[in-house]
Amino acid sequence: MARGTKPMKRTRMRRGRPKPRAGHDPKMRKACEGQRCWLILPGVKCAGRDTVVPCHANWGEFGKGMGLKAPDKFTVPGCASCHRELDQGKRFTKQEKWEFWTTAYRAWSAYRDLKITSAEADEFEDVPV
């Protein structure tokens, strides 16, 4: 070590839960649980309700970027088969995938918002006044 220099300090390892990513919203993800596949891509056999997961938007206009997932607000419940075809499939063009996803999102987001607001209203009904 050169004279007059200080030894480097080690940084502490982060322990515990990782910091939630920007746009993380458990309510939006939970709303997808137990749903049917809302993507319903033509020519793709849906894999079933037990494989449904939140399918995030894959386009920059929804907040997706290189190494960055779109916020949970921009999800649609989709089965494993439709999700795979949407993300990695070669059957449809990018424009067709965008149209399928946005059509499903318009229908799903209206339903989801009603579902979330009614669930929040139910929580308050149980509270004695």
pLDDT higher than 90, residue 92:
yes
Confidence of residue 118 (pLDDT cuts 50, 70, 90): confident
CATH number assigned to the domain comprising residue 99: 3.30.50.20
User: Which among 11-20, 53-62, 94-103, 112-121 has the top mean pLDDT?
Assistant: 94-103
Domain assignment of residue 73, given as a range: 36-119
3-state secondary structure 45-67: CCCCHHHCEEEECCCHHHCCECC
Whether residue 126 is contained in a domain is answered as no
pLDDT score of 8: 72
- Per-position DSSP letters for 81-103, written without gaps between them: HHHHHHHH-SSS-HHHHHHHHHH
Whether residue 66 is contained in a domain is answered as yes
Whether residue 100 is contained in a domain is answered as yes
- Count of the separate structural domains present in the chain: 1
Which has more pLDDT, 17 or 105? 105
pLDDT score of 123: 60
Whether residue 93 is contained in a domain is answered as yes
Whether residue 49 is contained in a domain is answered as yes
Whether residue 12 is contained in a domain is answered as no
Whether residue 108 is contained in a domain is answered as yes
pLDDT higher than 80, residue 9:
no
Tell me what the pLDDT averaged over the chain comes to: 86
pLDDT higher than 50, residue 127:
no
Q: Could you report the per-residue pLDDT of 37-87, keeping only the tens digit for each?
A: 999 999 999 998 999 999 999 998 998 888 888 999 999 999 999 999 999
Whether residue 24 is contained in a domain is answered as no
Alpha-carbon distance values, 7 to 2, 4, 46, 129 (Å): 10, 10, 59, 63
